[in-house]
Structure 1
Amino acid sequence: NMPEAKLAREAEIRYASVSMITDFDCWHPDHENVDVEQIIKVLLGNAEKAKVMIKNLIDNFEEYIDPRDPANNCLDVAIITSLEKRTQKTIDKLKTVAGRVLNK
């Protein structure tokens, strides 16, 4: 996930990887094998937990952003192409992510 995390940081996008375990019989020596039905049950439960997590993230996101966090301004130094060398096509393609700094 490191390449994605670095690219997200450069674009001022908060990034987190979430892993949700479905079974642990492959590394747990004293546990019986699990079957597909058990895995699907856990997978569906994890999907519900993920929905709650995303809702909580959306509802509370702004509260936890520190205005002094340097990640807020990574784009200020991310674009090195001079203004006169930027094409309108490229600007249009990137404005959703980098619109704040594209015309500086």
Structure 2
Amino acid sequence: MTKHDNQGVLISREVHWFIHRLRKDHGVKVIAQDVGEEGLELGMDEVDAVLIPQELFEVTPNTLLYELMVVEDREGNLWSGTIGFYPDSPEWCLQVITKNDEVQLRKLLSIIY
């Protein structure tokens, strides 16, 4: 699913979530065009436990799909947003935001495993 930003540019719902959370929770105003993004699949052993403590999962999956987003604010802080998906589902299972590598938000969504 995609949305339009304030300039009418089509953006993914993950980028929309990221820029909305930055604005609402941290007062950081960025535009979608400044957000770098990448999608990848990683095994649970490849992800830092600070971001995804495996004890949060009732049954730990072998891998998760991730949409990673990065933007630098006007003060030079590096913000990173991560949305995690189970490989066989389009629904989000994890939301993480970091500022300069420090976790600001880590939310495990409904567990479907």
| TM-score w.r.t. length of structure 1 | 0.24
Structure with greater contact order relative to length (CA < 8 Å, sep ≥ 6)? 1
Report which of the two has the higher share of helix.
1
Q: Which has the larger radius of gyration?
A: 1
Report which of the two has the higher share of strand.
2
| TM-score w.r.t. length of structure 2 | 0.23
